[in-house]
Chains A and B, each alone.
Chain A
């Protein structure tokens, strides 16, 4: 993007981050921006979510039928969506790394490698079974509810309960 950003953002003193260890086990919870922003800076993520939700509905990713077609190999649609999303995502990540693109706040964009653990197998299989039953992964659950399938709140609450039970049993599960 802009090459003339040469100033560096003053890094705040390294705060002791006791919860980082446990959070970093979870692939998604490692975003450690050193910058403090007012809450309304988060509205942009809401806007991104709105656009994302519209795409999920209009591309019929929220359709129970589409998920069945995918697992019955009756349609290329979902494979095309996920496949082309990965290609575009990978190309974007390549460009971000290649040109050292920064965030809008001028911070370096960082990537966190995911560590392998057996959860990706056991949990992955469980999620796969659930995906075919509900016809929705977590994103579409929110979009389905928004699109008027109000009963999906039951599925969503059950998914939250599932996450909670996992957290509760976590120490006893093989990882």
Chain B
């Protein structure tokens, strides 16, 4: 048991985690014809809490409540993994990345979510504001505009061979590369 716990606590390699994530697709389909997708939960939350007579938010979100159960589960899964299966410290990253981040004073590798960037102290700095609030806004706006996120387009969409999803995924990656190489260095130096 202890051995198993140690094994599970180690970071899981991609060839274990990837196939497990892929199995979410048939799991949700077989459970009840549900298409794997997470960003929709944000829309259902808007529809449930603040529809404001907007046509895009006027639908019966209760029919999609499974999605809210699913994301509530993700939150609890995060808690379980964080509490009972803590990984090794410090978090291992590529030495070039660590060297680059050190220039911006990012040296805390105790957590997967770097406290130097994403924490309550940081929300009120310009850097933290852009990373968390502007970044979060773009995630919410962009995924809905695109009609899906990494789960809905990259995994579910590509698994069902949808070419519009391939277009979306290429754009996700293009946006990410642009952001990482042209915006992030500037933002981190703020």
Chain A positions near chain B (C-beta within 8 angstroms): 19, 22-23, 25-33, 39, 41-72, 74-93, 95-96, 101-105, 107, 109-117, 119-139, 141-152, 154-168, 170-171, 173
Query: Do B19 and A84 have beta carbons less than 8 Å apart?
Result: yes
Contact partner of A52 (CB less than 8 A), chosen from B70, B130, B156, is B70
Q: How far is the CB of B141 from chain A (nearest CB, A)?
A: 4
Interface of B is mostly: helix
Write out, one digit per residue, whether chain B residues 63-106 have a CB within 8 A of any chain A CB (1) or not (0): 11111011111111111111101010001011011000100000
- Range for the number of chain B residues in contact with chain A: 35 or more
Q: How far is the CB of B178 from chain A (nearest CB, A)?
A: 7
Query: Do A142 and B81 have beta carbons less than 8 Å apart?
Result: no
Alpha-carbon distance A149/B122, docked complex (angstroms): 12
Residues of A within 8 A of B134 (CB): 130, 133, 158
Contact partner of B17 (CB less than 8 A), chosen from A46, A61, A63, A91, is A61
Query: Do B74 and A50 have beta carbons less than 8 Å apart?
Result: yes
Q: A33-B33, A125-B174, A160-B42 are in contact. List 12 more A-B contacts (CB 8 A).
A: A26-B40, A28-B40, A46-B69, A57-B81, A57-B112, A72-B96, A89-B26, A123-B146, A124-B172, A164-B57, A166-B141, A170-B56
Question: Can you list 19 contacts pairing A with B, beta carbon distance less than 8 Å?
Answer: A27-B152, A49-B70, A54-B80, A58-B8, A59-B21, A60-B91, A69-B93, A82-B150, A92-B159, A119-B147, A121-B167, A127-B138, A133-B134, A138-B41, A138-B42, A146-B79, A149-B119, A162-B144, A163-B143
Contact partner of A46 (CB less than 8 A), chosen from B70, B119, B156, is B70
Residues of B within 8 A of A104 (CB): 30-32
Alpha-carbon distance A116/B31, docked complex (angstroms): 28
Query: Do A96 and B29 have beta carbons less than 8 Å apart?
Result: yes
Query: Do B112 and A64 have beta carbons less than 8 Å apart?
Result: yes
Q: Contacts A88-B23, A158-B140 given: A128-B94 contact, CB under 8 Å?
A: no
Query: Do B35 and A128 have beta carbons less than 8 Å apart?
Result: no
